[in-house]
């Protein structure tokens, strides 16, 4: 995360108001609720896991056992069971 000096971006009146609460410290200002990205959207992890889980479900439906899937995807049997037995949202 890159830090920006408040002197540069905030109007003088707003800066003086913020200085009433914080002087010389760092303040994190979050994005508005609607603009936040979900976990894994930037890195592509969300898409990767969705694709992997779909592949696991398809292989299970075509007869591959949980033990075989566990070895093939390097996941525990419990993790495979969670993937194949939960409904896809």
Number of domains within the chain: 1
* pLDDT of amino acid 89: 60
Whether 12 is in a domain gets the answer yes
Whether 34 is in a domain gets the answer yes
Separation in Å, CA 58 to CA 32, 38, 46, 61: 38, 26, 18, 5
Whether 1 is in a domain gets the answer no
Q: Which two tokens stand for residue 15?
A: 């800066």
Range of the domain at 33: 6-85
* pLDDT of amino acid 36: 75
* pLDDT of amino acid 59: 97
Question: In 7-85, which ranges are E strands?
Answer: none
Rounded Cα distance between 8 and 4, Å, is 8
pLDDT digits (tens, 9 = 90+) for 3-26: 888 889 999 999 999 999 998 888
**For the chain, percent of residues with pLDDT exceeding 90:** 60
In this predicted structure, the answer to whether residue 35 has a pLDDT above a threshold of 80 is no
SS3 content of the chain, % helix, strand, coil (to 5): 55, 0, 45
């Amino acid at each position: 995360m890159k830090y920006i000096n408040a002197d540069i971006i905030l109007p003088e009146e707003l800066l003086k108001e913020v200085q009433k609460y914080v002087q010389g410290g760092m303040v994190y200002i979050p994005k508005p609720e609607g603009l936040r990205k979900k976990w894994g959207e930037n890195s592509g992890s969300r898409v990767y896991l969705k694709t992997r889980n779909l592949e696991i479900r398809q292989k299970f439906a075509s007869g591959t056992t949980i033990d075989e899937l566990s070895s093939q995807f390097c996941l525990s049997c419990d993790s495979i069971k969670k993937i194949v037995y939960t409904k896809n949202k």
